[in-house]
């Protein structure tokens, strides 16, 4: 390590006493960094990767939020190593999506910054009071209750991970309950409103042909925008009227594709995509042959929504809400809708049963003995 000297190991004698081979100071791979610990005389005593989830090896029982220096001279906090291992655990073991992991990373970064302001230097000394104060501070920032609740979930999962990996003796968050939130009713479009949006793309242009295919797919399948932007060509089965979708938790599901969506996708495939120099295997491409981003789809929908003059907040997820709502209004079974949406819990799907007051009345009148 440049400059020699001693790196404090924060009183963890187990690390000092372990023996291992020395490796070059610049050892680093694409997936993990190797830190060289210098003890006393400045000679390399141990080279070890960041904590291994599979083997259960951790850096130390007490995990301070102070920093150590890696072989390249870049400051790397022990907490960051833990965050990376935690997120790797969520990705590999739990199969969480990249967007979900990014949200957890942001939550934990704010949590760490708060604890540093509170002078909390050891994970063993983090208390329930620290966490409650953190949640209060998040509320003062003007965050909605749903965002604060998600932040608490991130914190609880992280502390549970610390306990599981024996970095701390007990889970300080085990006594904290997640708040019960009022569920917001989803915004959806009526069938006439949806039809008016689907008429907006100019199918005389390549862009319009693509946009119509994408909008038809969103409405026909109820897919999340992150799912539809990532879908590869080989997962579109136009002859069989199916799309194979990879959703949250890396779970695959087959979703039927209606005849109008099939026609729009076939038109796009034959007249537009087949003539492009694709830089990716994604089905929906931009002008330069690259895949579309979630933000692009969001802006595209906003544009067509403005053209219709519909006075509603319309996003890609509005199409998903409308898909579920219209199916239930027409008598679809809730379990079927759950499967189509890729919900692991039917309670998530039940939010859509709000919508059809008329549908509920008709069912009651048809089946209740005194209806």
Q: Which residues are known catalytic residues? A: 224, 248, 317, 320, 343, 352
DSSP character string of 186-225: PP---HHHHHHHHT-S-TTSHHHHHHHHHHHHHHHH---H
**Cβ partners under 8 Å of residue 155, min gap 6:** 107, 108, 111, 131, 134, 173
User: Rounded to an integer, what distance in angstroms lies between the CA atom of residue 1 and that of residue 320?
Assistant: 54
DSSP state, residue 182: P
β-pairing verdict for 242-246 and 236-237: antiparallel
304, 197 contact by CB (below 8 A): yes
User: Rounded to an integer, what distance in angstroms lies between the CA atom of residue 97 and that of residue 11?
Assistant: 37
Give the tokens for residue 1. Answer: 């390590």
What DSSP element (H or E) covers 65? none
Q: In Å, what is the CA distance from 26 to each residue of 35, 37, 44, 226, 227?
A: 9, 13, 12, 38, 39
End-to-end CA distance of the chain: 81
What DSSP element (H or E) covers 56? none
User: Which residues, listed in sequence order, are joined to residue 236 by a DSSP beta bridge?
Assistant: 243
User: Rounded to an integer, what distance in angstroms lies between the CA atom of residue 182 and that of residue 167?
Assistant: 35
Give the tokens for residue 219. Answer: 């409405």
User: Rounded to an integer, what distance in angstroms lies between the CA atom of residue 153 and that of residue 147?
Assistant: 10
Residue 356 Cα to chain centre, angstroms: 30
User: Which residues, listed in sequence order, are joined to residue 39 by a DSSP beta bridge?
Assistant: 43
C-alpha angle 102-104-105 in degrees, rounded to nearest 5: 65
Quickly tell me which residue has 């909605």 as its tokens. 144
């Amino acid at each position: 390590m440049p400059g020699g000297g001693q790196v404090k190991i924060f009183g963890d004698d187990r690390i000092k006493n372990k023996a291992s081979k020395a490796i070059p100071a610049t050892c680093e791979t694409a997936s993990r960094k190797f830190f060289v610990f210098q003890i006393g005389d400045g000679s390399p005593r141990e080279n070890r990767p960041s904590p291994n989830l599979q083997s259960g090896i951790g850096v130390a029982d007490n995990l301070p939020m102070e920093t150590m220096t890696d072989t390249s001279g870049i400051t790397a906090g022990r907490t960051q190593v833990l965050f990376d291992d935690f997120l790797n655990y969520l990705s590999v073991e739990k199969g969480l999506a990249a967007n979900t992991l990014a949200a957890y990373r942001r939550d934990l970064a704010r949590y760490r910054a708060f604890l540093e302001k509170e002078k909390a230097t050891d994970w063993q000394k983090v208390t329930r009071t620290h966490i409650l104060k953190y949640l209060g501070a998040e509320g003062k920032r003007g965050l909605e209750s749903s965002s604060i609740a998600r932040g608490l979930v991130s914190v609880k999962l992280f502390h549970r991970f610390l306990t599981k990996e024996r970095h701390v003796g007990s889970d300080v968050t085990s006594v904290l309950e997640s708040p019960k939130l009022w569920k917001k009713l989803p915004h959806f479009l009526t069938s006439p409103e949806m039809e008016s949006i689907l008429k907006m793309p100019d199918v005389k242009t390549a862009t319009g042909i693509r946009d119509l295919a994408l909008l038809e797919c969103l409405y026909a399948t109820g897919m999340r925008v992150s799912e539809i932007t990532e879908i590869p060509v080989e997962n579109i089965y136009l002859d069989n009227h199916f799309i194979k979708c990879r959703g949250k938790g890396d779970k695959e599901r087959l979703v039927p594709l209606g005849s109008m969506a099939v026609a729009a996708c076939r038109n796009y495939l034959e007249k537009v995509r087949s003539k492009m120099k694709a830089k990716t295997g994604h089905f929906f491409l931009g002008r330069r042959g690259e895949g579309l981003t979630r933000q692009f789809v969001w802006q595209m929908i906003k544009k067509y929504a403005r053209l219709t003059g519909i006075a509603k907040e319309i996003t890609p997820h509005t199409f998903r809400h409308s898909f579920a709502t219209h199916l239930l209004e027409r008598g679809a079974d809730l379990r079927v809708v759950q499967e189509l949406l890729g919900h692991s819990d039917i309670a998530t799907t039940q939010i859509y049963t709000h919508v059809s007051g008329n549908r509920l009345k008709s069912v009651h009148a048809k089946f209740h003995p005194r209806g």
